């Protein structure tokens, strides 16, 4: 397990936002959500790029191989439209596919809209990093990461981030702690550390 801060790559993938047609909302949404959930110190490497498969592949490889990111979150480019190639690029750079992440993301989305079934988000491992494709809308990003809660805050459908810290443990990343009121990270008892004093 590595020590030191969690290094996170944030990638917003959009032809129009990357060319300045409209303001990117993906990167600020990811940054704000991570600031609200992570108790572990973290560092960010962010990129705003076009829907271009070779460019997405190169960006993901750079963030993992050169920048040493432990977690890479992408937003955008996961639908069925011809320019939506984020999953193809992500799979092309993967060492292992983690299908449970994509399955759970669609399960969460279906609680809100029937078109969530059109999403092709994937989760993969490349070297020391977990790469996750998230939806493009800030509200959907939050729902996907946190899950579906009732009026009292009880989790009805778990969000995907609950599984991220233990996954990072298993692939040699830093020990990540979360604000339990937002997302309670799940670890087997044998993998838990005592809370920091």
pLDDT in tens, the chain (197 residues): 667 799 999 999 988 887 777 888 999 999 999 999 999 999 999 999 999 999 999 999 999 999 999 999 999 999 999 999 999 999 999 999 999 999 999 999 999 999 999 999 999 999 999 999 999 899 999 999 999 888 887 888 999 999 999 999 999 999 999 999 899 999 998 899 887 65
Query: For the chain, how many structural domains are there in total?
Result: 1
CA–CA distance, 197 with 33 (Å, rounded to integer): 24
Residues 169, 103: Cα–Cα separation, whole Å: 21
Gap between the terminal Cα atoms of the chain: 21
Calpha distance 127→67 (Å, rounded): 12
Note whether residue 195 is domain-resident: no
Whether residue 166 contacts residue 191, with contact meaning beta carbons closer than 8 Å, is answered with yes
194 lies in a domain?
no
Q: Is residue 1 part of a domain?
A: no
CATH number of the CATH domain containing 146: 3.40.980.10
In a domain, 196, yes or no: no
| pTM over the 0.75 mark | yes
**Domain limits for position 148:** 6-186
Report yes or no on 61 lying in a domain: yes
């Amino acid at each position: 397990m590595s020590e030191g801060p969690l290094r996170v790559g944030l990638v917003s993938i959009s032809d129009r936002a990357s060319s300045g047609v409209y303001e990117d909302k993906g990167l600020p949404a990811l940054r704000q959500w991570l600031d609200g959930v992570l108790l572990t110190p973290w560092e960010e490497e962010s990129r705003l790029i076009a829907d271009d498969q070779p460019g997405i592949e190169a960006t993901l490889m750079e963030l993992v191989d050169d920048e040493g990111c432990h977690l890479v979150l992408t937003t955008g480019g996961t639908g069925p439209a011809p320019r939506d190639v984020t999953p193809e690029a992500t799979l092309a750079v993967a060492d292992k596919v983690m299908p449970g992440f994509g399955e759970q993301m669609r399960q969460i989305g279906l609680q809100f809209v029937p078109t969530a079934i059109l999403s092709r988000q994937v989760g993969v491992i490349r070297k020391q990093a977990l790469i996750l494709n998230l939806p493009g809308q800030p509200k959907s990003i939050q729902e996907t990461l946190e899950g579906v809660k009732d009026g009292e805050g009880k989790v009805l459908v778990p969000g995907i981030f609950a599984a991220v810290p233990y996954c990072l443990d298993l692939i040699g990343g830093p020990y990540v702690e979360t604000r339990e009121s937002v997302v309670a990270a799940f670890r087997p008892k044998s993998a838990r550390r005592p809370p920091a004093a």
